[in-house]
Chains A and B, each alone.
Chain A
């Protein structure tokens, strides 16, 4: 069971103690809290404490040197008129809304081809999975920078066909596209999750459908998609949350400045520049909370929409 289904089942069972819990109503608070101590300290000192602190800082002007100065909603009103920030939101939304569905579609497609009892499956799976392990590294971002450069691999190949390609990452209209492509390239991890999900669909559904004369396409839409929908949903939620936080690739490919002409200025990159380039910690904190809010809204929309297309078999 995934973390998400676990969470929703927690909220569903609220109030009702399970039989197991009634039986074992002896509590070992002391032992439990000793085991939980490192996690609890981390929760307070590394997570919740800093969260509250950054919420406070988002209402202040703070540069690390002078003590924070309360400025009320100033940071947030500044955001409303910050054109670079609006642009960074546009870049990030494009990245997420194009990159995530594209990546999941490729992952699902390859998983479907792989699932049908293919010889050499472990080999193919490894080949497709490897990029997703390496994709987050600086080294691969460097590689990308070369491949999509003016004299990079892509243009060398195009030149063999007599085509003069543009400098993909030096051209503002294609720079983001090449980073989205890098994201799609790392489809291996969701593919593995899809593969595991496909294995859980009982074969008898397909057999019954075949007896009734269903075509492959009908089987896909009427059996595979509904049965797989919780897993697609799970991948979608996780990938959206993760993609909003993408940083390394845009940073390395653009040389740290989100260029050319801010076309790869991700929200996180702008946050980094504000916080750790200009030490405008108040503004950076406010931006971080806006990011949290955006991710929260997207996740909520996802959950609400899931009622209409995700099929739970229980």
Chain B
């Protein structure tokens, strides 16, 4: 709809990235820009890159410095702000790994259990709810849909005290259940919303065709909708992974036995026990804890950015 008027050469061409959910603009006008691409504009764009590199460098510097510092002897952390490495010190990693009651891998396995449980829970429960909201007509649908949207914005703290009482009465404190069961019950309403949005984009004719072939709702859901909503499921998986892996508050409340610690509470115990004596090993384990998130970021970026852009997840 915007191309008719574009006869003027415009240096501000919009390069198509993955961030745009509906990228329908034809890309025919880029070559004509050279006419107006004067020296001044080149200078401007150079300056822009300069600013961005400076700002980006500033943003990332603390992280890079933490990585480098974890490979340094401990005392250098307080004296060396640069990124130069004279030697590769792995001792921070070996000492950090075994600094707590259990080797750090133990906490990573605990975290992995919670994460996998949460992902499975979210995938199953949220997709079911989303199918109902997006495709079925039922009594009080609007009311429930409104409630669902409201729960997205509900502060966690309002329910945490009674939830704690409830779970402690059934003896679930120091188990992973309080962290996983809510996900099995679709309490991460954000993902329900994300999936509703996605299912609405799937042509209804596909459902109709399946219905004419005699398929019921379970069959349409499993055979038609689910295979088509894999991108939404991927986004859900990735976000659930990152949020659950980083989740501190829930673990802090429900997991007090060091046997059951997930990575964030284990790190916190590490900070408390070390109090500034061995920042090197503390940094080393922090990096180990960030590594899975970083890997997911590297490989799942496309889904992350699309998910944020379309639903505005934090």
A149-B138 Cα distance, complex, nearest whole Å: 58
Is there an interface contact between B153 and A151, defined as CB atoms closer than 8 Å? no
A192-B245 Cα distance, complex, nearest whole Å: 22
- Of B97-105, B180-188, B229-237, the segment with at least 4 beta carbons within 8 Å of chain A is B180-188
> Contacts A28-B137, A117-B12, A118-B15 hold; do A46 and B248 have CB atoms under 8 A apart?
no
Is there an interface contact between B267 and A118, defined as CB atoms closer than 8 Å? no
Does A51 make an interface contact (CB < 8 A)?
yes
CB-based nearest A residue for B156: A245
Is there an interface contact between A291 and B59, defined as CB atoms closer than 8 Å? no
Is there an interface contact between B10 and A64, defined as CB atoms closer than 8 Å? no
Is there an interface contact between B138 and A29, defined as CB atoms closer than 8 Å? yes
Does A264 make an interface contact (CB < 8 A)?
no
In chain A, positions 18-42 with a C-beta closer than 8 Å to chain B are: 21, 24-29, 31-33, 35-39, 41-42
Is there an interface contact between B62 and A292, defined as CB atoms closer than 8 Å? no
Is there an interface contact between B137 and A57, defined as CB atoms closer than 8 Å? no
A242-B125 Cα distance, complex, nearest whole Å: 24
CB < 8 Å neighbour of B158 from A10, A247, A281, A288: A288
Does A71 make an interface contact (CB < 8 A)?
no
Is there an interface contact between B159 and A54, defined as CB atoms closer than 8 Å? yes
> Contacts A27-B138, A38-B186, A192-B309 hold; do A137 and B289 have CB atoms under 8 A apart?
yes
Does B113 make an interface contact (CB < 8 A)?
no
Is there an interface contact between B129 and A38, defined as CB atoms closer than 8 Å? yes
Q: From residue B265, how far is it (CB to closest CB) to chain A in Å? A: 8
Q: From residue B195, how far is it (CB to closest CB) to chain A in Å? A: 12
CB < 8 Å neighbour of B248 from A32, A36, A206, A251: A251
Query: Which residues of A are found within 8 Å of B249, using beta-carbon distances?
Result: 247-248, 272
CB < 8 Å neighbour of A38 from B66, B185, B217: B185
Is there an interface contact between A143 and B286, defined as CB atoms closer than 8 Å? yes
Does A255 make an interface contact (CB < 8 A)?
yes
CB < 8 Å neighbour of B185 from A42, A199, A238, A299: A42
Does A278 make an interface contact (CB < 8 A)?
no
Is there an interface contact between B268 and A204, defined as CB atoms closer than 8 Å? no
Is there an interface contact between A47 and B187, defined as CB atoms closer than 8 Å? yes
Residue from the set A32, A117, A131, A199 with the largest chain B CB neighbour count within 10 Å: A32
Does B85 make an interface contact (CB < 8 A)?
no
Does A129 make an interface contact (CB < 8 A)?
yes
Does A133 make an interface contact (CB < 8 A)?
yes
Q: From residue B269, how far is it (CB to closest CB) to chain A in Å? A: 10
CB < 8 Å neighbour of B312 from A2, A43, A134, A145: A2
Tell me the count of chain B residues lying within 8 A, CB to CB, of chain A.
124
Is there an interface contact between B147 and A43, defined as CB atoms closer than 8 Å? yes
Q: From residue B227, how far is it (CB to closest CB) to chain A in Å? A: 17
Is there an interface contact between B52 and A114, defined as CB atoms closer than 8 Å? yes
A interface footprint on B142-168 (CB within 8 Å = 1, 0 otherwise): 101111111111111111111111101
Query: Which residues of A are found within 8 Å of B260, using beta-carbon distances?
Result: none
Query: Which residues of A are found within 8 Å of B309, using beta-carbon distances?
Result: 192-193, 195-196
Is there an interface contact between A153 and B81, defined as CB atoms closer than 8 Å? yes
CB-based nearest A residue for B152: A3
Tell me the count of chain A residues lying within 8 A, CB to CB, of chain B.
116
Q: From residue A287, how far is it (CB to closest CB) to chain B in Å? A: 8
A215-B138 Cα distance, complex, nearest whole Å: 53
Is there an interface contact between B185 and A31, defined as CB atoms closer than 8 Å? no
Is there an interface contact between B301 and A28, defined as CB atoms closer than 8 Å? no
Does B120 make an interface contact (CB < 8 A)?
no
Query: Which residues of A are found within 8 Å of B151, using beta-carbon distances?
Result: 43, 47
Is there an interface contact between A113 and B56, defined as CB atoms closer than 8 Å? no
A interface footprint on B182-217 (CB within 8 Å = 1, 0 otherwise): 101111001011000100000000000000000011
CB-based nearest B residue for A203: B2
29 contacts between A and B (CB under 8 A): A10-B146, A31-B216, A31-B218, A35-B129, A36-B128, A39-B185, A46-B181, A46-B185, A47-B154, A53-B165, A64-B168, A113-B52, A118-B15, A129-B305, A133-B293, A134-B290, A136-B246, A137-B289, A138-B286, A139-B287, A142-B282, A160-B81, A192-B305, A199-B14, A207-B10, A251-B268, A284-B161, A292-B154, A299-B153
Interface residue ranges, B against A (CB under 8 Å) = 1-2, 4-6, 8, 10-15, 17-21, 23, 45, 48-49, 51-52, 55-56, 59-60, 62-63, 65-66, 77-81, 124-126, 128-129, 131-133, 136-139, 141-142, 144-166, 168, 181-182, 184-187, 190, 192-193, 197, 216-218, 221, 242-243, 245-246, 248-249, 252-253, 263-265, 267-268, 271-272, 276, 279, 282-283, 286-287, 289-290, 293-294, 297, 301, 304-305, 308-314
